[in-house]
Amino acid sequence: MTTPAGIPTGNRFKTALANGQPRIGLWLSLGDPYGAEMCASVGYDWLLIDGEHGPNDLRSMLFQLQSVAAYASHPVVRVVQGEVARIKQLLDIGAQTLLVPMIDTPEQAQTMVAATRYPPDGVRGEAAAIVRASRWNARSDYVRKANDEVCLLVQAETTTAIDNLEAICAVEGVDGVFIGPADLAASMGFPGNAGHPSVQAVIDDAIRRIVKSGKAAGTLTSDPDQAKHYLALGARFVAVGLDVALLMQALRARAAQFDLGTAADDAKGPY
């Protein structure tokens, strides 16, 4: 939807999740707007701009939001951590959908809901006249409708979060819960082994529990068959790869065709 002036309104990603429509995504970890636009041109339903582990700051995330704005792919921004002030900045530069890592309790989830809402529903500071989110006040109804348009996704990625999963899902204003495989594996005592059968069993069970709660379940995997498995369990937003990993796979495969692997190892510097 758009205003008469062509300014986008609503949140199509949030609407799709609420309607039970599966959304297929891709992780953007390069921190580069040109690369982000390349990925957006392919047609993924959503693109995760990674502010937690990617080399991103506020401006690089702004540039990526601008780069993908002309495409159908919906940008989801992952914050470094659940900081109220940083969330305010990300919403102001035009992020509509946020993914917040390391949410272990319903109280933490409630704090994040408040951070994404204008009063009286929350604590977000209001400066619509000077921010990109309202197109610098060209969208006159922004403050009145922004609370309903924000999509909040929280990450459950520790054994504590798994224990509190139903309580986190019950928090009003949380639209979806994302299971973080790598950190969950580490929390369970299997660092670097998200594919361990015990970890996968917990992920499967968590997806079922999230779906049962009525909230959208999500996760990340580079294995297409595993992604289809999660979707069959009812997961609604699944990332099926990472830009960095896909690039490195292609680079290494091409290097191997010319026996460059050994030469690359020999040329390694101190870093």
Give per-residue pLDDT as tens, 99-116. 999 999 999 999 999 999
The pLDDT assigned to 210 comes to 98
The pLDDT assigned to 254 comes to 95
116 belongs to a structural domain: yes
Q: pLDDT tens-digit profile of 29-63?
A: 999 999 999 999 999 999 999 999 999 999 999 99
What CA–CA distances, in Å, run from 191 to 70, 181, 182, 185, 247? 39, 10, 7, 6, 24
| CATH number, residue 77 | 3.20.20.60
CA 209 and chain centroid, separation: 20
Q: What does the pLDDT profile of the chain (271 residues) look like in tens digits?
A: 656 555 778 999 999 999 999 999 999 999 999 999 999 999 999 999 999 999 999 999 999 999 999 999 999 999 999 999 999 999 999 999 999 999 999 999 999 999 999 999 999 999 999 999 999 999 999 999 999 999 999 999 999 999 999 999 999 999 999 999 999 999 999 999 999 999 999 999 999 999 999 999 999 999 999 999 999 999 999 999 999 999 999 999 999 999 997 545 554 544 4
196 is catalytic: no
Q: pLDDT tens-digit profile of 250-268?
A: 999 999 999 997 545 554 5
What six digits make up the tokens of 25?
Answer: 């995504």
Q: Name the domain count of the chain.
A: 1
Residues 46/73, Cβ–Cβ less than 8 Å: yes
262 belongs to a structural domain: no
- Domain boundaries, position 179: 12-255
The pLDDT assigned to 8 comes to 72
266 belongs to a structural domain: no
The pLDDT assigned to 188 comes to 98
The pLDDT assigned to 5 comes to 54
263 belongs to a structural domain: no
Burial class (CB in 10 A: 0-12, 13-18, 19+), 271: exposed
- Hey, CA dihedral for 47, 52, 54, 57, is it positive or negative? positive
The pLDDT assigned to 153 comes to 98
3 belongs to a structural domain: no
| DSSP string across the chain | -B-TTS-B-S-HHHHHHHTT--EEEEEE-S--HHHHHHHHTTT-SEEEEESSSSS--HHHHHHHHHHHTTSSPEEEEE-SS--HHHHHHHHHTT--EEEE----SHHHHHHHHHHTS-TTSS-----GGG-GGGTTTTSTTHHHHHHHH-EEEEEE-SHHHHHTHHHHHTSTT--EEEE-HHHHHHHTT-TT-TTSHHHHHHHHHHHHHHHHHTSEEEEE-S-HHHHHHHHHHT-SEEEEEEHHHHHHHHHHHHHHTTT-HHHHHHT----
Q: Are strands 46-50 and 237-242 parallel, antiparallel or unpaired?
A: unpaired
7 belongs to a structural domain: no
| 186 closest CA partner among 157, 229, 162 | 157
1 belongs to a structural domain: no
Catalytic residue among 53, 74, 196, 229: 53
- Hey, CA dihedral for 69, 73, 79, 84, is it positive or negative? positive
| 162 closest CA partner among 215, 237, 105 | 105
268 belongs to a structural domain: no
